[in-house]
A and B are shown apart, each in its own frame.
Chain A
Amino acid sequence: MTILRRRKSSQVSNDTTQRVSIDIVAPIIVGILVLVAWEVFVRMTNLPPYLLPGPLLVLQTLITDWNELFASLLVTFQITVVAFVAAAVSGLLISILFTQSKWIEKSLFPYAVILQTTPIVAIAPLIIIWLKNNTFAALVVCAWIVAFFPIVSNTTLGLNSVDRNLVNLFQLYKASRWQTLVHLRLPSAMPYFLGGLRISGGLALIGAVVAEFVAGTGGARSGIAYRILISSYNLQIPRMFAALLLTTGLGVVIFVGLTVLSDWILGKWHESAVKHEN
């Protein structure tokens, strides 16, 4: 009897280090080349900064305006996190509700789709008017609408894709509905749910940014999208680029964070997270 253990020869670890370094080094080289070309292009053509600022100028602006921009980024991040958590919780609960009865799923799912396909830009003004006393809540609702559908749709799929034999086994041992949900359906759906989270994390940020654009709220607690908007009105294009850079960076951080979370939860058992060797 043998267990299929992971090989741990020096050969393998060398391959792994090499691959990791390529994973990191290659995109960095491409990035640097593009930035250098960009800087050179801007200097050679003497483009004014309000048309296209060079990367060095953007970096400089990012440093000088850091306090203001970063504070705004935190506001947007806050909206994103609240909307994302709300989407994760409500999405999970709604999909559990869907799988309790075909009738509930069939009658409610189309409306979840409609909510998803309605352009958020179009309904954001409405939501902002309805919640005019609480802009933060309005922005959260907008971001939530964008973020929650992938979670519902993925998790519902996961809850329904349970191994038939395991369902029979649970039946044989007279498992209650609750036991089947907790010990069988939810763990089966976990990879799908986490996949939904990874999509929704980015979408929540986009939803928050779009809603901020529409709301156009100023004041002390304005988000990063408002900074982008105002910078473009004032032709402070380097500042606009800096704010954009921060937003994109936040999106990447959210995605990487959720990927790490997903790999950590699924690491031991799911094909997507297990390292394979041939």
Chain B
Amino acid sequence: MIPAIELNHVSKVYSNGTVALHNMNLAIQDAEFVSLVGPSGCGKSTVLRIIAGLGQMNSGSIDWGVCDRKLAFVFQEAALMPWATVQDNVHLPLKLAGTSKKYADVLVQQAIQRVGLSGFERSYPRELSGGMKMRVSIARALVTKPNVLLMDEPFGALDEITRSKLNRDVLDLWSQHRWTVVFVTHNIYEAVYLSNRVIVMAARPGRVVADIAIDAPYPRNEEFRTSLLYNEYCREVSQCLMATMNEQPLLHIVGNDYSPSPQI
């Protein structure tokens, strides 16, 4: 089977000499939910930006197995236009693509409804909470009916309760639409909960150190979050991360997370 996205020997060096990625190979299957986990500076966001075409690679190539590929990107900050209402923000990708207003209105309405923001169409971003802004951002990504969804630490700035709610919602949406998702996070628990596969990356130079298949059925619910299997996967990912940065204590990574740390 041809992978949907295949990175071949991708390297990226920033102009200040930082090796962001070194000889990165990664094959992502169609409709797969893949998470990239790693310490800051390991190039996980760089991978996403290169896939999105927002950054140039120094060497290597990307092969696309998706025909008619439509990308959508969700940033860490919601990246909404503060001067535009929720519906105008969601409408933006369609406006840029020149979609007819009538058809666009229907799509915008659907997308807003899908992320549970009906009734807030005319609100401005400043009137919304952090979680709601993120929902707008997701609706904006959905509105073009993408087949590849790239998410760069989308819930990193949210509180744990909002984060787990949005995690569930993203899984719901994914099970309906079956996009290919590449999800960047520094949260091991989130990665294991969401993904088919967790790719562990190491820094200096940025590279893949482990590729762990999360062999648990969907739909995943709160039961999965408390299961032994889930904990074992979390531990496995943690250990891989720890091994890549043995000069630094594991607390460095887990310290950013709100979830209780697994027994190691």
A residues sitting closer than 8 Å to B (CB atoms) are 1-5, 163, 165-166, 168-175, 179, 183-184, 187, 190, 268-271, 274
Chain A residues near B128: list those with CB within 8 A.
3-4
The contact of B96 among A3, A163, A183, by CB within 8 Å, is A183
Residue of A nearest to B93 (CB): A173
- B48-85 residues with Cβ-Cβ distance < 8 A to A are 49, 52-54, 71-73, 75, 77, 79, 81-84
The 5 closest A-B pairs by CB, nearest first: A165-B79, A165-B75, A173-B96, A269-B83, A175-B96
Query: Quick check: B83 and A187 within 8 Å, CB to CB?
Result: yes
The contact of A268 among B73, B92, B95, B124, by CB within 8 Å, is B124
Query: Quick check: B120 and A3 within 8 Å, CB to CB?
Result: yes
Residue of B nearest to A186 (CB): B83
- Is residue B127 contacting chain A, with contact meaning CB distance below 8 A? yes
Residue of B nearest to A179 (CB): B96
Q: How far is the CB of B91 from chain A (nearest CB, A)?
A: 10
Query: Quick check: B79 and A163 within 8 Å, CB to CB?
Result: yes
Chain B residues near A4: list those with CB within 8 A.
127-129
Can you list 25 contacts pairing A with B, beta carbon distance less than 8 Å? A1-B129, A2-B129, A3-B127, A3-B128, A3-B129, A4-B128, A4-B129, A165-B79, A168-B52, A168-B54, A169-B75, A169-B79, A172-B52, A172-B53, A173-B144, A174-B96, A179-B96, A183-B92, A184-B81, A190-B83, A268-B124, A269-B84, A270-B82, A271-B126, A274-B126
Residue of B nearest to A3 (CB): B127
We find that the number of chain B residues with CB closer than 8 angstroms to chain A is 31
Chain A residues near B262: list those with CB within 8 A.
none
- B93-139 residues with Cβ-Cβ distance < 8 A to A are 93, 95-97, 116, 120, 123-129, 131-132
Q: How far is the CB of A277 from chain B (nearest CB, A)?
A: 13
A171–B75 Cα distance when bound, in Å, is 14
A274–B124 Cα distance when bound, in Å, is 12
A86–B116 Cα distance when bound, in Å, is 48
A271–B83 Cα distance when bound, in Å, is 11
Most buried by B among A1, A179, A271: A1
Query: Quick check: B132 and A269 within 8 Å, CB to CB?
Result: no
A175–B54 Cα distance when bound, in Å, is 13
Chain A residues near B96: list those with CB within 8 A.
170, 173-175, 179, 183
B residues sitting closer than 8 Å to A (CB atoms) are 49, 52-54, 71-73, 75, 77, 79, 81-84, 92-93, 95-97, 116, 120, 123-129, 131-132, 144
A170–B131 Cα distance when bound, in Å, is 23
Residue of A nearest to B132 (CB): A1
The answer to whether A173 and B97 touch (CB under 8 A), given A269-B82, A269-B83, is yes
Chain B residues near A3: list those with CB within 8 A.
120, 123, 127-129, 132
Q: How far is the CB of B192 from chain A (nearest CB, A)?
A: 27
Query: Quick check: B124 and A269 within 8 Å, CB to CB?
Result: yes
Chain A residues near B120: list those with CB within 8 A.
3
Q: How far is the CB of A263 from chain B (nearest CB, A)?
A: 14
Query: Quick check: B73 and A168 within 8 Å, CB to CB?
Result: yes
Chain B residues near A274: list those with CB within 8 A.
126
The contact of A171 among B54, B83, B126, by CB within 8 Å, is B54
Residue of B nearest to A175 (CB): B96
The answer to whether A269 and B126 touch (CB under 8 A), given A166-B79, A169-B75, is yes
The contact of A1 among B71, B92, B116, by CB within 8 Å, is B116
Query: Quick check: A168 and B75 within 8 Å, CB to CB?
Result: yes
Chain A residues near B79: list those with CB within 8 A.
163, 165-166, 169
Q: A168-B54, A190-B83 given; name 5 further pairs at CB < 8 Å.
A: A3-B123, A168-B75, A169-B73, A173-B144, A269-B125
Chain B residues near A166: list those with CB within 8 A.
79, 81
Q: How far is the CB of A195 from chain B (nearest CB, A)?
A: 15
Residue of B nearest to A268 (CB): B124
A183–B49 Cα distance when bound, in Å, is 23
Residue of B nearest to A176 (CB): B96
Q: How far is the CB of B252 from chain A (nearest CB, A)?
A: 26
Chain A residues near B82: list those with CB within 8 A.
269-270
Query: Quick check: B123 and A172 within 8 Å, CB to CB?
Result: no
Chain B residues near A187: list those with CB within 8 A.
81, 83-84
Q: How far is the CB of B181 from chain A (nearest CB, A)?
A: 16
Chain B residues near A168: list those with CB within 8 A.
49, 52, 54, 73, 75
Query: Quick check: A172 and B71 within 8 Å, CB to CB?
Result: yes
Residue of B nearest to A169 (CB): B79
Q: How far is the CB of A186 from chain B (nearest CB, A)?
A: 10
Q: How far is the CB of A240 from chain B (nearest CB, A)?
A: 46
Residue of A nearest to B49 (CB): A168
Query: Quick check: A172 and B127 within 8 Å, CB to CB?
Result: no
